[in-house]
Structure 1
Amino acid sequence: MSEQNFTSNGEYPIIAPCPVDAVTLTPLDDEEARPCLVPSNLNPIIKIPVVLAENTLQIVVEANIPLNPPASEIKRVFKDAFITQCKLVPVRFGKETCHGSVRTVTKAKLFVEGFIRKDIEYATSNCNGVIRDRIATVPFSGFTELTADDFFVYPIIGSSSESRSRYINPKNGHTPRLDKFFFENNVYYNEQPYCELVNAEFFELDFSPCPTGVGESFSTLREKIVVDLTLKVLQVRQVRVNALGGG
């Protein structure tokens, strides 16, 4: 009988399989650091992104995804939502502010465009085949309406203007001059509202358009997808904050 190596308590030694290189880290001491604040007796104005609205959009998409080689069974499907375009178009305005050149937006259309990236893992008809992987992008687009009740803070947009002044002919007071004009232009450069992706919840039904029996395979996967997509709508704004004086 071969000799066995036992530990001090009479049990077999435990040897970890498949070892890799590892380093035990040494903890470092830390202490609280005091930030340096510039003393100020005034309430400063800062420029930061402000959340205008946060809404959940429901997107309904149907798609046919070809599979090559054909599949006999769908194993797993991973999904992510990507936003490629999100534009706020004002359609109704409220009161004017900032000396009358800037108006609040009380109603707007939000145009959204993007795609769903799907990673499909499936088995083929081979008894001992490998798991196949199919990546597909399913596009979607649409719009929703944001009303006054949807906004936490109204978006603002400044209007530009241009005017032209005419002159009368000094030699003939009955005719205007066509060779002399005074032009005035006022251009307001607005901060473009933009979107931020918060959450995507997927509900989907995947099936073969033609029913298949056990052991048969299908080359097209039909999908009916419902996505509840939550977005933040933001705009960079100037905001006055309360400052605490100190050393």
Structure 2
Amino acid sequence: MSNQLDPIQSCPVTSTEQIPLTTATTPLVATPLVTPTIKVPVVLAEPTLQIAVEADITLTPAATEIKRVKKHVFLNQVKLVPVAFTRIAGTDFFMVTRAKLFVAGHIRKNIEYASAECNGALQDRIADVPFSGFTDLTFPQTIGGPFPILGISEFAEANFLNETTQMDARLDKAFFQNLVKYNEQPFGELVAANFFELDFSPVMADPEGTFDTLREKIVLELTVKVLQVQQIRLGTGTNVITPNLTGLTPPVSPTVTPPVIHPTESC
């Protein structure tokens, strides 16, 4: 009987030789546009929010040492709620000058730790730490920057006299008008997350001792983009294009006359 080992067999696979293709430059014809109008997402704000959360995470089996913690952020919502407006002259649309930005989501933590078992495998614990909050935004964020734009819907009603008596109302007759504007919803995008974290056992463990609870204090600096799809007219003077929808009550920018203050006469 031979003591020599059998030679290692190769593992061939099927391959297909690729045929080289020829390439040629495609001629392009440019059509001149003096002032094209495009519809694109416009960055309204890019704030960095500081979020502080605390959580207790149970470890089963108990841990003797934390080896590594990896973190990611998942956002459930980024919602803009306008609270102050300025009318766009000659239209029924308004620029938002101040708004509350609501943010909610969770931090997904992957904790790797050693247990008390000698030569044991590393344990893995995944935990979702929720957070939510809001911040105040003013627009424009920079000089000459964009505003969120919203159109306000209009409802009007006209009532009539009793044409027989001219003394009372016709409750069975009315005129209604509704102008409904459908706006582009501002939305958010996740940009970056910067974590500052302190992890410790609420009860200090002895050397080589175990602990089954990990208390975490996390400061998260979360950067998001707030955008809205808007119509932009390109050219020398780039402008945001707003439709002029005529309702029964045309928009009029009120002119406020400051009160005249007379000096108080002394007796």
TM-score range, shorter chain: 0.7 to 0.9
Structure richer in strand, relative to its length: 1
Name the amino acid aligned to 1:156: I
1:108 equivalenced with 2:99 (yes/no): yes
Query: Which stretches of structure 1, 4 residues or longer, exceed 6 Å deviation after superposition?
Result: 28-32
Show the 5 A alignment for 1:80-229: 80-97=72-89, 99-148=90-139, 150=141, 152-229=145-222
Aligned to 2:241: none
Aligned-partner SS, 2:88: strand
Q: Does 1:73 align with 2:65?
A: yes
Higher RCO (C-alpha 8 Å, min separation 6): 1
For 2:22 and 2:46, how far apart are their aligned partners in 1? 39
Distance 2:29 2:37 in 1: 16
Q: Residue 233 of structure 2 corresponds to which residue in structure 1? A: 240
2:41 aligns with one of 39, 49, 56: 49
Aligned residue for 2:46, secondary structure, equals strand
Q: 1:124 to 1:88 in 2, by over 3 A?
A: same
1:127, distance to aligned residue in structure 2 (A): 1.7
Kindly provide the amino acid, as one letter, of the partner of residue 113 in structure 1: A
Gaps of 5+ in 2: 1-10, 237-267
Q: Give CA deviations for 1:8-64 in whole Å, capped at 9, x if unaligned.
A: xxxxxxxxxxx998x9x99x7897845745614442211110000111000000000
The count of residues paired between Structure 1 and Structure 2 equals: 223
Note the residue ranges of structure 1 that are not aligned, 5 or more in a row. 1-18
User: Whole-Å Cα distance in 2 between the matches of residues 128 and 154 of structure 1?
Assistant: 60
TM-score when normalising by structure 2: 0.77
| 1:161 Cα deviation after fit | 1.0
The alignment-based identity, stated in percent, is: 51
Is the alpha carbon distance of 1:222 and 1:186 closer, same or farther for their aligned partners in structure 2, counting shifts above 3 Å? same
